[in-house]
C-alpha cells in the first residue's frame, strides 16, 4: 500500500514529473523552530510561516509537519483548516527534504521519488549536522498518504535545485548539481540519466550559477522557473549596482538561447529583483553552534521574488517591504492572468536562508 518500488524506474512505469502550475491536491510545509537558524527562538519565522500557510490554504489544502516539541503550539496557532501532523525534522525546508511527487497520466496514480539528502553539501559544505531526520522525512510522508515510492538515496538532490515544464524539460544549475558536496562521482551525463529515468526528463537546460553559493550552492528556484510549457521566468535587474546584476544577465542569456525538450525556443519573462538588498539587521540573535556561519549585521540576504509558489488559482509571492514589492506582483500578474497573485511577507524566511518556494511543496492531483 505504501511500498518501495524495486526493479523498475518511473519512466518504465509510465510516470512523469508534473509542472508546478498543474492541478495540486495539497501543499506540504514544515514548522520552523531551530534557534540556531531562526532568530529569537523561531517566533518571528513561525509567524510568517503561519501567514504563508494560511494564505495558501485559501486556494489549496495545506499540511504542516511539526516536531513533537512544537506540536501543541503549532496546532494552537494555526487555523483548523491546516492539517498539522507530528514529524521529527532537522529543519523546515520541505521543498528540499520532502519527496518529489510524480504522476502516471494513464492511471492517475501518484508516486514519489525519495532522493538522498545531505543538508546542502554534507561534510563538504553542508549547512547542518546531523540531517538524519530530514533524510527520513520523505518516506514518512509517503506512508501517511499511502503513496508508493522509489528509493533514490544514492543520488543527492534537493527539490529546490530543479524545475520542470511537465513536458520533459528540466531547469537546473551547474553550481549546485555539479558541486563536490552533492554527487562528486556523477558526471553531467550521469545526472541527466537520473533525470531521464526518475523524472522522465528528455532535456536538461543547465544555467551556470545560482545566486547563493554559500547557502544552497545556487538552487535554481531563486533564479528561474517555468510559468507554463514554453515559457520561463528569470530574475532581472537593469541596475548594474544591484548585488545580483551579473547573475541576472547570465541566466537570462542562457535561457534566451535555449530550446526545450519539444524543440521550442523559450519565451523568457523578466521578474524584477528587489530594489535594495535585504540585509541582516542589528541585534540579530541566533544560538551558537560549532562550525556554523554566524549572521552579522549588514550581511546581504538572498531575497529573490522568483522564489514564489505556484498553486491552484494563485501565485504566492515573497514581499520584503521593498520599493519593488508591488512591481513584482504586477509583473507576475501579467505572466499569470489566470491566477491571483498574492504577496506574503517572507523576510524572516529569508533570514533563515530560504523563501516561500523553499518551504513549500506541491502534491499533484
* Interior angle at CA 364, CA 68 and CA 62, nearest 5: 35
How many residues of this chain interact with its own copies, rule: CB under 8 A?
25
Q: Are 101 and 111 in contact (CB under 8 A)?
A: yes
335 burial class (0-12, 13-18, 19+ CB within 10 angstroms)? Answer: middle
Concatenated DSSP letters for 305-317? TT--EEETTEEEE
Q: Supply 114's cell numbers.
A: 525519495
CB 328, min distance to its own copies, A = 31
Q: Which of the residues 16 through 75 are near its own copies (CB under 8 A)?
A: 61, 68, 71-72, 75
Give the whole-angstrom CA distance, residue 174 versus residue 152.
Answer: 20
By CB under 8 A, tell whether 77 contacts its own copies: no
CB 265, min distance to its own copies, A = 44
- Looking at the DSSP bridge assignments, the partners of residue 205 are 171
**Given 12, 36, 47, 81, the residue binding its own copies (CB under 8 A):** 81
Report the 10 Å Cβ neighbour count for 42.
22
Per-residue x/- mask for its own copies, residues 136 to 155, rule CB under 8 A? Answer: x--xx--xx-x---------
**Given 51, 54, 88, 292, the residue binding its own copies (CB under 8 A):** 88
By CB under 8 A, tell whether 240 contacts its own copies: no
CB 123, min distance to its own copies, A = 22
In this structure, what DSSP letter does residue 178 have? T
Q: Which stretch binds its own copies (CB under 8 A): 2-10, 219-227, 233-241, 270-278?
A: 2-10
By CB under 8 A, tell whether 4 contacts its own copies: yes
CB 27, min distance to its own copies, A = 13
Q: Report the relative pairing of strands 361-364 and 340-345 from DSSP bridges.
A: unpaired
* 358 among known catalytic residues: yes
Q: Which stretch binds its own copies (CB under 8 A): 35-43, 44-52, 77-85, 94-102?
A: 77-85
- Cite the active site residues: 358
Amino acid at each position: 500500500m505504501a511500498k518501495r518500488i524495486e526493479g523498475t524506474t518511473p519512466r518504465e512505469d509510465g510516470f512523469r514529473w508534473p509542472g508546478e502550475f498543474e492541478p495540486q491536491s495539497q501543499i506540504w510545509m514544515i514548522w520552523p523552530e531551530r534557534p540556531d537558524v531562526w532568530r529569537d527562538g523561531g517566533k518571528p519565522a513561525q509567524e510568517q510561516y503561519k501567514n504563508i500557510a494560511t494564505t495558501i490554504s485559501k486556494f489549496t489544502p495545506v499540511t504542516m509537519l511539526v516536531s513533537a516539541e512544537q506540536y501543541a503550539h503549532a496546532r494552537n496557532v494555526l487555523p483548523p483548516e491546516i492539517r498539522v501532523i507530528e514529524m521529527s525534522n532537522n529543519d523546515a525546508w520541505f521543498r528540499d527534504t520532502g519527496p518529489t511527487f510524480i504522476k502516471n497520466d494513464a492511471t492517475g496514480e501518484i508516486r514519489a521519488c525519495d532522493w538522498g539528502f545531505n543538508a546542502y553539501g554534507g561534510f563538504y559544505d553542508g549547512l547542518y549536522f546531523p540531517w538524519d531526520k530530514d533524510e527520513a522525512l520523505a518516506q514518512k510522508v509517503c506512508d501517511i498518504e499511502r503513496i508508493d515510492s522509489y528509493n533514490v538515496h544514492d543520488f543527492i538532490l534537493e527539490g529546490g535545485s530543479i524545475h520542470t515544464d511537465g513536458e520533459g524539460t528540466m531547469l537546473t544549475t551547474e553550481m549546485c548539481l555539479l558541486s563536490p558536496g552533492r554527487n562528486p562521482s556523477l558526471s553531467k551525463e550521469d545526472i541527466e540519466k537520473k533525470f531521464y529515468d526518475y523524472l522522465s526528463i528528455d532535456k536538461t537546460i543547465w544555467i551556470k550559477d545560482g545566486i547563493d553559493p554559500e547557502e544552497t550552492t545556487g538552487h535554481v528556484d531563486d533564479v528561474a522557473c517555468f510559468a507554463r510549457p514554453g515559457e520561463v521566468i528569470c530574475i532581472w535587474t537593469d541596475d548594474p549596482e544591484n548585488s545580483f546584476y551579473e547573475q541576472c544577465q547570465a541566466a537570462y542569456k542562457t535561457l534566451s538561447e535555449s530550446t526545450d525538450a519539444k524543440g521550442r525556443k523559450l519565451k523568457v519573462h523578466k521578474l524584477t529583483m528587489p530594489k535594495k538588498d535585504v540585509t541582516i539587521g542589528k541585534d540579530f540573535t541566533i544560538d551558537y553552534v560549532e562550525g556554523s556561519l554566524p549572521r552579522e549585521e549588514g550581511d546581504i540576504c538572498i531575497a529573490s521574488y522568483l522564489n514564489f509558489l505556484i498553486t491552484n488559482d494563485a501565485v504566492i509571492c515573497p514581499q520584503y517591504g521593498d520599493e519593488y514589492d508591488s512591481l513584482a506582483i504586477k509583473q507576475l500578474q501579467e505572466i499569470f492572468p489566470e491566477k491571483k497573485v498574492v504577496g506574503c511577507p517572507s523576510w524572516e524566511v529569508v533570514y533563515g536562508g530560504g523563501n516561500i518556494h523553499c518551504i513549500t511543496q506541491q502534491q499533484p492531483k
